[in-house]
């Protein structure tokens, strides 16, 4: 006898609920990533018309003709401006990632080792900035660091400006805004939670008996940290680094508000190509190269990790 539970139409077999749960959002994401990306690639191989880029397929004398132009890419590679902007962005993203890691790791570590009741409070404090608008928070730095801002006054008071000057992070004593310093500060501030959260998750689920075993075998706390804690949190470090590094490369708002004229990051170049020069194909070429710059090292990294996990 068929029970109502086992009876289902044949076409539903294999399409259980879980497939829908995973499949639908996945299809959504894929569609709305791939479709715009196809448009962007399409534009990048075209040239600017009067209002919008020319179509790649054109009917000439009744015959369809496909014209692919690589001129945008060759311009991009030939012009030092773009190269430098990419380099500056990569460098900024790398520094931000490193900075977030150095600031975030100890924080996440002690948060994960705090009493459970306190962990909740600390976690909430890390996420508290998300309660206000990102734009507002970045803008607030302008007031803090600008002339007459109390943070600026404080740094003047302790003479920190001379240290920053010596480091080459600001150009004149007492002037903090629109310098590499203000940009770095803004990036670190904005991205730190994205580093802390995965690190915390990784460190909190670590088996503390492994540290006891290490101590038992003669490892000092410092040795146990480097030999056990750090290697075991490698996955969390990688996750946090990607969450910071990837969006940081293309960051536009923070450099625009806090960065100086000297640091031209690729997000800003993209904006200018699109809105100032009205050169959509060039902007799209910049975006495609940016994507490749991020995706290629990432997929290589993933493959290395997979191979290591399987070994």
Partner 1 sequence: MKPSQFQQPEPALARRPEAYLRIEAVDKDFGGVKAVDQVSLDIARGEIFALLGASGCGKTTLLRMLAGFESPSAGRIVLNGQDLSGLPPYARPINMMFQSYALFPHLSVWDNIAFGLRRDDLPKAQVAERVEAMLKLVQLQAFAKRRPHQLSGGQQQRVALARSLAKRPQLLLLDEPLGALDKKLREQTQLELLAIIREVGVTCVMVTHDQEEAMTMATRIAVMGQGRVLQVGVPQDIYETPASRYVADFIGNVNLMEGHVVADAPDHVNVQCLDCCHHVGHGITGTLGMAVSVALRPEKIALSHRAPASEFNRLQGVLDSQAYFGSYTVYSLRLRSGARLKVSQANASRHAEDPFHTGQTVWASWSADAQVVLNQ
Q: Which residues bind partner 1 (CB under 8 A)?
A: 207, 209-210, 212-220, 223, 227-228, 231-232, 234
φ and ψ of 67, to 5 deg: -115, 120
Under 8 Å between Cβ of 249 and 287: no
**Smallest gap from residue 207 Cβ to partner 1 (A):** 7
State the minimum distance, in angstroms, from the CB of residue 226 to partner 1.
Answer: 12
CA distance 287 to 177: 28
SS3 of the chain: helix, strand, coil, percent, to 5: 75, 5, 25
Residue among 148 and 231 whose Cβ is closer to partner 1: 231
Distance from C-alpha of 165 to C-alpha of 185, rounded to nearest angstrom = 15
Residue 260 has a CB neighbour count (10 Å cut-off) of 16
Q: State in angstroms the smallest separation of the CB of 110 from partner 1.
A: 20
Specify the residue, 69 or 227, whose C-beta has the smaller distance to partner 1: 227
Rg over alpha carbons for the chain, rounded to the nearest Å, is: 25
Sign for the CA dihedral angle at 90, 236, 98, 264 comes to positive
Decide whether 142 or 215 has the Cβ nearer to partner 1. 215
Query: Minimal distance in Å, beta carbon 119 to partner 1?
Result: 20
Tell me the H-state helices in 45-149.
71-78, 80-113, 116-127, 134-145
Q: Which is nearer to partner 1, 90 or 201 (CB)?
A: 201
Q: How far is the CB of 69 from partner 1 (least distance, A)?
A: 50
> Between 102 and 213, whose beta carbon lies closer to partner 1?
213
């Amino acid at each position: 006898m068929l029970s109502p539970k086992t009876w289902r139409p044949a076409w539903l077999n294999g399409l259980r609920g879980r497939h829908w749960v995973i499949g639908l959002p996945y299809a959504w994401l894929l569609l709305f990533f791939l479709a715009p990306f196809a448009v962007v690639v399409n534009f990048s191989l075209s040239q600017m018309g009067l209002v919008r880029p020319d179509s790649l397929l054109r009917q000439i004398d009744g015959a369809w003709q496909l014209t692919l132009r690589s001129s945008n890419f060759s311009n991009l590679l030939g012009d030092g401006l773009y190269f430098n902007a990419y380099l500056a962005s990569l460098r900024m993203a790398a520094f931000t990632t490193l900075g977030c890691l150095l600031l975030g790791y100890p924080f996440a570590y002690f948060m994960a080792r705090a009493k459970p009741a306190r962990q909740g409070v600390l976690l909430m404090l890390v996420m508290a900035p998300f309660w206000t608008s990102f734009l507002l928070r970045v803008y607030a730095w302008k007031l803090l660091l600008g002339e007459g801002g109390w943070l600026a006054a404080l740094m003047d008071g302790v003479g920190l400006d001379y240290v920053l000057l010596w480091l080459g992070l600001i150009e004149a004593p007492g002037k903090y805004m629109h310098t590499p310093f203000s940009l770095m500060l803004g990036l670190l501030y904005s991205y730190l939670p994205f580093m802390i959260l995965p690190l915390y998750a990784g460190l909190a689920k670590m088996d503390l008996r492994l540290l006891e075993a290490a101590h038992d075998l003669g490892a000092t706390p410092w040795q146990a940290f480097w030999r056990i804690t750090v290697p075991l949190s490698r996955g969390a470090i990688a996750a946090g680094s990607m969450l910071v590094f990837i969006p940081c490369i293309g960051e536009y708002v923070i450099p625009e508000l806090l960065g100086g004229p000297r640091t031209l990051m690729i997000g800003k170049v993209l904006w200018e190509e699109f809105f100032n020069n009205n050169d959509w194909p060039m902007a799209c070429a910049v975006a495609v190269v940016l994507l490749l710059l991020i995706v290629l090292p990432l997929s290589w990294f993933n493959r290395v990790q997979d191979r290591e996990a399987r070994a």
